[in-house]
Amino acid sequence: MPSFWEMEFTSTNIFSAYASLAASMMLFRSLVNDIFPEPVRSFFHSMFEQFVKKFFPKSLGQMTIMVDEEVGFLTNEIYDAAEVYLRTKINLNSDRLKVNKTRKQQNINLRMAKDQEVIDIFKGIRLKWELVVIEPKREQDRGSEKTYFEITFEKRHRETVMNEYLPFVLTKAKEIKDSEKTVKIYTRACYGMDDEDCGRGGGDWGCINFDHPVTFDKLAMDPNLKQAVIDDLDRFLRRKDYYRKVGKAWKRGYLLYGPPGTGKSSLIAAMANYLKFDVYDLELTSLYSNQELRRILLYTTSRSIIVIEDIDCSSQMHDREMEHSGSSDNTKLTLSGLLNFIDGLWSICGDERIIIFTTNHKDRLDPALLRPGRMDMHIHMGYCTPAGFDVLALNYLGIHDHHRLLPEIKRLIGEVEITPAEIAEHLLRSDDVDLALEGVIDLLKQKKEEKNEKNKETSDEKHETPEKQSDVKENGSDEVESKKDI
Ligand SMILES: Nc1ncnc2c1ncn2[C@@H]1O[C@H](COP(=O)(O)OP(=O)(O)OP(=O)(O)O)[C@@H](O)[C@H]1O
Ligand SMILES: [Mg+2]
């Protein structure tokens, strides 16, 4: 750029001339600082201020905030948030646009290019964002450029920008990220997975995108129970401040129990999709000590669901503990190690955690696990009910409650024990609605016959009435208003 004095004052370059003059003034000011003693400096400063005030009233009132990409070795959260937030502010009519998309992202994202400017208006304040990239001077330092954002605005809005605008950008970016978030499932069993987005990635966790399509509306379970679970999750999310106030770790525990194929794993998937929480699938059998358990749990991130399926194996843990009584607690994996974690260690493992245990045999669980207050909700996933069948019929065949075969099916469902998984499997067998429903009727009749035969054999014995309804039990919950049985 030519210096101010070398410029021709045409209307097209008048703005550049202003910029150049301002730069020359700054240079002059710093020279004065270096050369002259304090009284002389003050004199020059006041002369300088008066000059700028007279000729550049606007430029005097501007200030710039720099937002570096990194703070030491850590990423700067404001920079990250700005990148996300500014994607929504980039003018699509610009002459140059920078776009990107990773394999796992669904949409094409806009990004600011070097020296690109974006104007944002917040509460009537005009903010100019610019992405500055400083290339290294030496050839061998190539690739280590310094990148930062500059935000320029009128100085008198400094308080609003610092106290309101920057927090607003952080919040907005979080909202955008949450809406784009793909739920992931982490497991320690598989290696070599593509974990480009696996967060900290430590603790031997590998992750893949969690593509389970199930949502609450596709789950065949008692409608009241379903609503109770959704309400509980909503309340959990809302209560961050409450948990803090009462000094409790912000976590929630659920025990899902019921026969195989009744939807326990499906319910976990529906919860993860609803909350957009990642899922950590914790295989207890792959662990050998409390220490290892602690270590890998420390590597799990906030806003996640830790799942321990088939917790019945805790009885084996109990045995192991007995066998090794006398040895240090940390050298073996014990039930108490796990329970300690549930009760007390959450605080070191971040916030917004949900832990879910599943079992087919609640009666076989160690009483320590069922103790009031340990798991907040015990949810029974039972055999299919007539209401549950409506959900499956709508989901698999797209039919509402008006098909001629439905009354018979619902009557039979009331008489036998059949899991939603068994019914779902039959509904999948044919594209033809009539054929699919007839298949279900055959299955139900066959089940009924088997049941009658069994009853005949044991006609002298007292027969236990089967439990038909899913139920939910609040178990020593700390929240008075959620103590209800459905
Ligand atoms: N309540 C349900 N609503 C809708 N679909 C269900 C339900 N229960 C089971 N299914 C269907 O059956 C399949 C198996 O169910 P799921 O794995 O959730 O059962 P589970 O209770 O976890 O069984 P297990 O005890 O063997 O782990 C699901 O993929 C789904 O297609
Ligand atoms: Mg399961």
Q: What pLDDT was estimated at residue 291?
A: 79
H/E element, 388: helix 386-397
pLDDT digits (tens, 9 = 90+) for 54-80: 666 555 588 999 999 888 777 789 999
Q: What pLDDT was estimated at residue 338?
A: 75
pLDDT higher than 80, residue 238: yes
pLDDT digits (tens, 9 = 90+) for 113-139: 888 899 999 999 999 999 999 888 777
Question: What is the whole-number distance in angstroms between the Cα of residue 358 and the centre of ligand 2?
Answer: 7
| Nearest ligand to the C-alpha atom of residue 257 | 1
Q: What pLDDT was estimated at residue 126?
A: 93
Q: Which of 222, 265, 307 to mutate to test the pocket of ligand 1 (most atoms within 8 A of CB)?
A: 265
What is the ipTM, given to two decimal places?
A: 0.99
Distances (CA, A) of 409 to 35, 164, 346, 396, 416: 96, 60, 47, 15, 11
The pLDDT of 433-458, averaged and rounded, is 91
Instruction: Name residue 48's amino acid.
Output: F
| Nearest ligand to the C-alpha atom of residue 388 | 1
Question: What is the whole-number distance in angstroms between the Cα of residue 213 and the centre of ligand 1?
Answer: 13
Which atom of ligand 1 has the smallest separation from the CA of 218? 4
From the list 253, 271, 371, the residue with the least C-alpha distance to 308 is 253
Residues with CB under 5 A from ligand 2 (ion): 264-265
From the list 480, 415, 465, the residue with the least C-alpha distance to 445 is 415
Under 8 Å between Cβ of 437 and 347: no
Q: What pLDDT was estimated at residue 105?
A: 67
| Nearest ligand to the C-alpha atom of residue 259 | 1
pLDDT higher than 70, residue 194: no
Q: Which of 9-18, 323-332, 390-399 has the highest mean pLDDT?
A: 390-399
In angstroms, rounded to a whole number, what is the distance separating the alpha carbons of residues 459 and 476? Answer: 40
The pLDDT > 70 percentage for the chain reads: 71
Question: What is the whole-number distance in angstroms between the Cα of residue 477 and the centre of ligand 2?
Answer: 25
- Name the pTM for this structure: 0.67
Which atom of ligand 1 has the smallest separation from the CA of 260? 25
- C-alpha triplet 208, 380, 448: angle, nearest 5°: 105
**Residue 297 neighbours by CB distance under 10 Å:** 21
Q: What pLDDT was estimated at residue 376?
A: 87
**Residue nearest atom 13 in ligand 1 by C-alpha distance:** 421
The pLDDT of 138-152, averaged and rounded, is 82
Which atom of ligand 1 has the smallest separation from the CA of 309? 27
Which atom of ligand 1 has the smallest separation from the CA of 221? 1
**Residue nearest atom 10 in ligand 1 by C-alpha distance:** 421
Question: What is the whole-number distance in angstroms between the Cα of residue 32 and the centre of ligand 2?
Answer: 76
Q: What pLDDT was estimated at residue 469?
A: 45
Q: What pLDDT was estimated at residue 4?
A: 44
Q: List ligand 1's pocket residues with C-beta within 6 A.
A: 219-221, 260-266, 360, 381, 420-421, 424
Question: What is the whole-number distance in angstroms between the Cα of residue 355 and the centre of ligand 2?
Answer: 15
pLDDT higher than 50, residue 480: no
Question: What is the whole-number distance in angstroms between the Cα of residue 263 and the centre of ligand 2?
Answer: 7
Greater confidence (241 vs 344) lies with 241
Q: What pLDDT was estimated at residue 3?
A: 47
